[in-house]
Structure 1
Amino acid sequence: MKKSTGTILLIVLICSANILMFISCQNKSEKKFDKLEKMNWLLGNWKNEMAEGVLTETWTKENDSTFSGTTYFIINKKDTVHSETIILTQLNDELVYRPTVKGQNNDEPVDFKLSSESEISFSFENPKHDYPQKIVYKKINETNLVATISGIQQGKQSQESYPMKKK
């Protein structure tokens, strides 16, 4: 009788420990990608029609830790003069913006690390990159954002802003 009571107690303790570990791991995974989740407002199709051409940016959620983006600047309704792919990923507690621009940096990605954040704005920086050194996304409202690139270009401070509307 004592042997079976001890066995039952041991089984209960093991099961309790497993349940606690499961709950603990579950809570951690729910908050694991919290920085990326704050940027859910970025998901979707964005567009800016200018006299020079049309800028489009599309963001999709690949998985819990990664968004992917594509950017195109098209002139004359058919000529793509700029294109890039972007990976926005949370690696541990760090958010990384990783663009690959066709024809630049040997077509290799460049990492920009999160430097500041709020509920409506995210800044990414790479001081070693030629230009830009800083990329900022700012949510204006549910259907409008402004993407800004800035830094030193040809020895002078430079900044370009791209307002976009959600399609």
Structure 2
Amino acid sequence: MKPFFGIILLAFLLSCQNKEKKNFEQLEKMNWLIGSWERLMPEGLLTETWTQENDSTFIGKSYFIINNKDTVHSEQIELKVQQEVLVYSATVKGQNNDEPVDFKLNSDTDNAFSFENLKHDYPQKIVYKKVNETSLIATISGKQQGKQTQESYPMRKK
């Protein structure tokens, strides 16, 4: 009976490793996101910077600065493998009691990743799409005040 138990234990451990590897592969497919991105607009400068903390977590910081003076929007982001799921976790200063809001991966390709949280007020969906090596489009969407809304932010790599 002991050899049979050993085979079952080995099969279980190998299946766990494959699941972890798969999820890390999803995160690795987003390596193109690492670096600094920006969008200059008439109202100010939107900057988003991503670094890799470890094999299961990317850290992002996003700022919107008006006229090189005032930061009117600040966001801390984690892109992490959590319980075998890739999660986009955003903490926006002054919102949600400064607690993170999680969005789970709902679809991905080599060049686009979509995260959803249908219970969040707005946005309910966040999409990052790689246009080319130096260009991406970040899009947020969902219902806001009863109407379907979408905002896209094309950005260039610095």
TM-score, with structure 1 as normaliser: 0.82
SS of structure 2 residue aligned to 1:33: helix
Corresponding residue pairs, total? 146
Question: 2:55 and 2:119 mapped to 1: Cα distance?
Answer: 29
Q: Quick check: 1:55 aligned with 2:55?
A: no
SS of structure 1 residue aligned to 2:68: coil
Question: 1:108 and 1:78 mapped to 2: Cα distance?
Answer: 26
Q: Is the contact made by 1:132 and 1:152 (CA closer than 8 Å) also made in structure 2? A: yes
2:137 to 133, 146, 166: 146
After superposition, the CA RMSD in angstroms is 1.9
SS of structure 1 residue aligned to 2:119: coil
Q: Which has the larger radius of gyration?
A: 1
Q: Name the % identity.
A: 69
Q: Identify the residue that residue 82 of structure 1 maps to in structure 2.
A: 73
1:66 to 57, 62, 65: 57
Instruction: Kindly indicate which of the two structures has a greater share of residues assigned to strand.
Output: 2
Q: Quick check: 1:155 aligned with 2:138?
A: no
Q: CA deviation at 1:88?
A: 0.4
TM-superposition CA deviations, 1:99-142 (whole Å, max 9, x none): 00001001000000001100000000000000000000000000
Q: CA deviation at 1:93?
A: 2.8
TM-superposition CA deviations, 1:11-54 (whole Å, max 9, x none): xxxxxxxxx99xx69x7465551110010000000000010110
Q: Quick check: 1:102 aligned with 2:96?
A: no
* Residue identity in the other structure for 1:140: V
Question: 1:61 and 1:102 mapped to 2: Cα distance?
Answer: 22
Question: 1:30 and 1:73 mapped to 2: Cα distance?
Answer: 35
Q: Unmatched 5+ residue regions in structure 2?
A: 1-9
SS of structure 2 residue aligned to 1:136: strand
Stretches of 4+ moved more than 2 A in 1? Answer: 27-32
- 1:106-125 mapped onto 2 (5 Å cutoff): 106-125=97-116
